[in-house]
Structure 1
Amino acid sequence: MIQTKLIPRTAEAIEPPMLIKNLLAQSLKYEPHREIIYRDLFRMNYVEFNRRVRQLANVLTERGIGPGDTVAVFDWDSHRYLECFFGVTSLGAVLHTVNVRLSSAQILYTMNHAQDKAVLIHEDFLPILNAVRGQLTTVDEFILLSDKVYTGEEPAIPAGFAGEYEHLLKSASDVYAFPDFDEDTWATTFYTTGTTGNPKGVYFSHRQLFMHTMGLMTYLCGYQAVPFSSVQDVYMPITPMFHVHAWGFPFLATMLSTKQIYPGRYEPEMLLKLLMKEGVTISHCVPTILNMLVNSPVAKQVDLSRWKVIIGGSALTKGLAKAALDLGIQVYQGYGMSETAPVMSITHLNDLERQLPIDQQVDLRTRAGRIAPFIEMRLMDDNGNFVPHDGHSIGEVVARGPWLTQGYYEDPERGSELWKGGWLHTGDVASLTPDNWLQIADRTKDVIKTGGEWVSSLDIEDLLSQVEGVAEAAVVGFPDERWGERPHALIVQKPDAGLTVAGIKASLQAKIDQGHLNKWYLPDQIVFVPEIPKTSVGKIDKKRIRSEMKTLILG
């Protein structure tokens, strides 16, 4: 870093730190009457929301939770979770968003590793807690979250719990002055699983989450990558709030005092009901959820033309994109990872590209997006050399930016591996165009090496998704004595599609015969399955598929 001349500072001058409480403060400035809604059970405006956040801070403080303490949350996507995003962190405490889809053993590990001191838990998840409660080493306080209080029922309070969330809030003072502290203070943590070892603790500071919010606002509200207007838009996440803070969108929506809808447990009927009743215009989800909604009979009976959906977690295939666009849904692809908070790119159509017919936009909308503001992204080969951004050369995606995690909690070795050479290594292989379009080829561990060629499993999945009658597809490499590896595919077909293996192969073979497709892309075997294994956050679980390959493929 070069030597520069720093600005002189007046002793009395104050420069407020970038804190989450300052994002919250904006929500009262311009549109405090707008609503935050939970299913069909609870509604409030931003005045009430701010009051409840202060009450939550008092509830926690009265129970000994202070700066540096970790508070774990088990909940569906709800207004309560949103209150924790602000109430816990603005105390100077650390919010641990627990992945409820992990195994009991993994959840126990993460809670003890994070040194959780208090637990806020929905009654639906009490069986998980009961399985590990006797082995928790640091938890002192338990608070119950229940939907029964919104229907006039009295929830049963388990032994050892301080009480039920709503009752505790009502009895707490709504006066609380959130303190200033260093913007590099630890704000949130959650755990991401890999192929080996225990889950890794990812962590973010107030400054990082503040800057991620500024980056989202710049890209969505300024550059209009996915047009976001606090006046016209209604936001509903369909990505779990435990997964990278629902991709950071709740922070942005709250800062802008946007109308927000929280759907709780994901149920197609409830999602579509809220979508129509509350006028939802912008959401984000993994392809699995969009596929479920697109194929719901109700979807074809309602007007979805105002709905914008950002897809992440897995690749948006052309088949799914076309199905969504046919229903009027404006779909966009985003890219990032748990360690990047997560947004690093989102589909951005420039003035010329927006004029293309919608069917010609599919190729652009299914790329991984254009690089987000303030993110520096490069491609690197196995020797640490940078690869040209010519749209053809491929390399591992590496990145720098103001909101990327600095490592893994109490795991310096894996943190150093993540940041080898001063760049965050994603493990994704991609190409970059001169005008900043990112196209993911595959995960480094999922690229299929066959007959001397590198074949993208994502490309084959994309081709299969375009075959009429295919609902979902997953492709993995399987060892082959002659060719090294060969692609094998799992297919979920739409109801009454009547697909055959021969028919699918013939469709792909026609593209090969016409010179549109390399012969190496034709899967050796195609197996029809009722569902494709998914990870805890809805991604195709290729690790599990490989482990079950002998059963799924070879029989």
Structure 2
Amino acid sequence: MTSYPLLLKQLWHTPLANAANQEIVYRDQLRLSYRQVYDRIGRFGAALAAYGLQQNDVIAVMDHDSHRYLECYFAIPMYGATLMTVNTKLTPTQIAYTLNHSRASMLLLHADFIPIIESIHAELPGIQKYIVMADKTAVPQSILQFDNEYECWLADQKDGFNFSDFDENTRATTFYTTGTTGVPKGVYYTHRQLVLHTLAAGMALTAPAAQQRFHSEDVYMPLTPMFHVHAWGIPYIVTLLGIKQVYPGRYAPDMLLRLIREEQVTCSHCVPTLLKMMLTAAQAAGVDLRGWKVVIGGSALPQVLARQALEMGIDCFAGYGLSETAPILTLAQLNATAQDPMTDDTLAKLCCAGRAIPLVDLQIVDEVMQSQAHDGQSSGEIVARAPWLTHGYLDNTEASAALWRGDYLHTQDIGTMDSNGYLYITDRLKDVIKVAGEWVSSLELENALTQVIGVKEVAVIGVPDKRWGECPLALLIVDNNLFKESAAQEQVRLFVDRGSIPKHALLTQFKQVENIIKTSVGKIDKKALRAEYAVAQ
């Protein structure tokens, strides 16, 4: 019997058979059918062959969210090469490090990012070929020697390139963590891993009867950068389902709202800060977002933000995963009997990490890897097994061994799980605040303070304290016309009295700030905040 390897090219069989004329849209500039995109992927493969690229070569991409990026998601791995997605929000020095560390030999570069690469060009001896991408504009003059322009590069090739079968364990992608704990670490995935993640996460997303689900009649638009964990793997899922796809390019609120309205976008995913931006922009512009479904990840979904989204008719729910888990491990989907999202219990479930998707073995363990009870009270580190989790970090055996200690992937998140399988994350191991020997969760404090009138954004960190060891410091962006620090203090006391947070949270200090430092993918950068406020009180 002929083998059938789990390769990314297999994801195209069903949509080409059932939805060949479905649209893939780029901003207000271009409309293509699935058939046309697949033909372009074939010409991409022919172009790689014409340039002498080999299987296992690493090809890097720097682009905004686009149809081109989707083509790269498939064409490069289908050729047998490795797609390296460059985090364009890193510093030029970090970008140079990731390109060199990944051993990229070719770079597909959007014209907007030419100045970044020009500034580090001398540090990139491994990049032998440059393909520039431009949005209906002339390619700017540059010190870089471009080998071709993307559209011309594809147009020079014939249709019908044959992507051959090969080992499903061939590396398909690599990308780099954001580097908040040192230099960025390379994470990598095989074809087999990505296909299995697509099938399991896709099954989970389409399983519910009504709410918190995607389906074949949806219209999809990513609001997570495509350089970050394959845009959570969802472009692979929606391609398999034959869903209409809309790619927004550079994120700008007016363009995003216009695309949602004109293309009738129904499903997206993003971090909480971007959801908040979208809600504010929609209210200001009078845009109706009813019917939009949004998976929120990257950091905890505040209940006050979820309630605001739900009141605007948005089906908003959380998911959880890491760069090292491809990324989806859990989704906060409700049973059909619990669909009223405005009750406190239901809202808490929508904002928790959720329940494990198919094939995920999720455990809460103590320091010696003993599993803790799923009673909603017993806490420990969240560890996981699934067939798509990264095997380790690129060329970093020590970090890889620590990641997989005890044959489970260690998330470094602390949480509890209830008897129904809902996972509640209480903090990151490195972010828990130890006050007089008692652990105080920064996430629980943040959840309490986001509900205070006038608080726009909050980050809680531990800072050194001469008496207590550490004390919580709440950094607040507020509306000065509405916010009162006494109300914040009373809110903390209320949560302590309820038993939601330990009594040492009453030692929380408050500081109003103009902005809160974020990582390149929109998460609060607590490492940087701790460094900034490290002086003992």
- Counterparts in 2 of 1:327 and 1:479: CA distance versus 1, 3 Å: same
Q: How does 1:129-144 map to 2 (within 5 A)?
A: 129-144=117-132
Gapped regions of structure 1 (runs ≥ 5)? 1-12
Corresponding residue for residue 5 of structure 1: none
Q: Once the 2 structures are TM-superposed, how far is the Cα of residue 522 of structure 1 from its aligned partner?
A: 3.2
Partners of 2:341 and 2:347 within 8 A in 1:
no
Corresponding residue for residue 65 of structure 2: 77
Q: Once the 2 structures are TM-superposed, how far is the Cα of residue 24 of structure 1 from its aligned partner?
A: 2.2
- Counterparts in 2 of 1:301 and 1:358: CA distance versus 1, 3 Å: farther
Q: How does 1:161-310 map to 2 (within 5 A)?
A: 161-223=146-208, 226-231=212-217, 233-296=218-281, 298=283, 301-310=286-295
**CA–CA separation in structure 1 for the residues paired with 2:281 and 2:178:** 31
**CA–CA separation in structure 1 for the residues paired with 2:499 and 2:138:** 67
Q: Does 1:40 align with 2:25?
A: no
**CA–CA separation in structure 2 for the residues paired with 1:466 and 1:45:** 45
- Counterparts in 2 of 1:258 and 1:462: CA distance versus 1, 3 Å: same
**CA–CA separation in structure 2 for the residues paired with 1:415 and 1:518:** 35
Q: Once the 2 structures are TM-superposed, how far is the Cα of residue 248 of structure 1 from its aligned partner?
A: 0.2
Partners of 1:293 and 1:299 within 8 A in 2:
no
Corresponding residue for residue 407 of structure 1: 392
Matched residue type, 1:380: V
SS of residue paired to 1:184 = coil
Gapped regions of structure 2 (runs ≥ 5)? none
Q: What per-residue deviation string (whole Å, max 9, x for no partner) do you get for residues 326-362 of structure 1?
A: 2111111100000000000011201222256555521
Q: Does 1:88 align with 2:83?
A: no
Q: What per-residue deviation string (whole Å, max 9, x for no partner) do you get for residues 56-87 of structure 1?
A: 11122211212100000001111000000011
Q: What per-residue deviation string (whole Å, max 9, x for no partner) do you get for residues 87-132 of structure 1?
A: 1110000000000111111111111111101100111111111111
- Counterparts in 2 of 1:228 and 1:516: CA distance versus 1, 3 Å: closer
- Counterparts in 2 of 1:279 and 1:359: CA distance versus 1, 3 Å: farther
Q: What per-residue deviation string (whole Å, max 9, x for no partner) do you get for residues 256-299 of structure 1?
A: 11000111111111111111111111100011101111122546
Matched residue type, 1:437: Y
Corresponding residue for residue 91 of structure 2: 103
Corresponding residue for residue 480 of structure 1: 465
Partners of 2:180 and 2:525 within 8 A in 1:
no
Query: TM-score, with normalisation over the residues of structure 1?
Result: 0.93
- Counterparts in 2 of 1:254 and 1:441: CA distance versus 1, 3 Å: same
Moved more, 190-199 or 385-394: 190-199
Among the aligned pairs, what percent are the same residue?
45
**CA–CA separation in structure 1 for the residues paired with 2:399 and 2:453:** 43
- Counterparts in 2 of 1:196 and 1:315: CA distance versus 1, 3 Å: closer
Q: Once the 2 structures are TM-superposed, how far is the Cα of residue 198 of structure 1 from its aligned partner?
A: 2.1
Partners of 2:307 and 2:342 within 8 A in 1:
no
SS of residue paired to 1:175 = coil
Q: Does 1:458 align with 2:443?
A: yes
Q: Once the 2 structures are TM-superposed, how far is the Cα of residue 390 of structure 1 from its aligned partner?
A: 1.3
Partners of 1:63 and 1:141 within 8 A in 2:
no
Q: How does 1:291-330 map to 2 (within 5 A)?
A: 291-296=276-281, 298=283, 301-330=286-315
Q: How does 1:10-89 map to 2 (within 5 A)?
A: 13-89=1-77
**CA–CA separation in structure 2 for the residues paired with 1:549 and 1:482:** 17
Partners of 1:65 and 1:117 within 8 A in 2:
no
Partners of 1:399 and 1:425 within 8 A in 2:
yes
Aligned pairs, number: 535
Partners of 1:202 and 1:339 within 8 A in 2:
yes
Could you tell me which of 371, 377, 385 is aligned with 1:392? 377
Partners of 1:189 and 1:202 within 8 A in 2:
yes
SS of residue paired to 1:296 = helix
Q: Once the 2 structures are TM-superposed, how far is the Cα of residue 513 of structure 1 from its aligned partner?
A: 5.7
Moved more, 168-177 or 334-343: 168-177
Q: Once the 2 structures are TM-superposed, how far is the Cα of residue 175 of structure 1 from its aligned partner?
A: 1.8
Corresponding residue for residue 324 of structure 2: 339
Q: Once the 2 structures are TM-superposed, how far is the Cα of residue 176 of structure 1 from its aligned partner?
A: 0.3
Partners of 2:352 and 2:422 within 8 A in 1:
yes
Q: Does 1:435 align with 2:423?
A: no
Corresponding residue for residue 154 of structure 1: 138
**CA–CA separation in structure 2 for the residues paired with 1:116 and 1:550:** 38
Matched residue type, 1:226: Q
- Counterparts in 2 of 1:507 and 1:39: CA distance versus 1, 3 Å: same
Corresponding residue for residue 369 of structure 1: 354
SS of residue paired to 2:318 = strand
Query: TM-score, with normalisation over the residues of structure 2?
Result: 0.96
Partners of 1:448 and 1:486 within 8 A in 2:
yes
Q: Does 1:521 align with 2:521?
A: no
Partners of 2:66 and 2:249 within 8 A in 1:
yes
- Counterparts in 2 of 1:28 and 1:157: CA distance versus 1, 3 Å: farther
- Counterparts in 2 of 1:72 and 1:107: CA distance versus 1, 3 Å: same
Matched residue type, 2:21: H
**CA–CA separation in structure 1 for the residues paired with 2:337 and 2:282:** 35
Moved more, 403-412 or 448-457: 448-457
SS of residue paired to 2:316 = strand
- Counterparts in 2 of 1:64 and 1:246: CA distance versus 1, 3 Å: same
Q: Once the 2 structures are TM-superposed, how far is the Cα of residue 465 of structure 1 from its aligned partner?
A: 0.8
**CA–CA separation in structure 1 for the residues paired with 2:282 and 2:244:** 27
**CA–CA separation in structure 2 for the residues paired with 1:368 and 1:295:** 25
Corresponding residue for residue 500 of structure 1: 484
SS of residue paired to 2:427 = strand
- Counterparts in 2 of 1:357 and 1:132: CA distance versus 1, 3 Å: closer
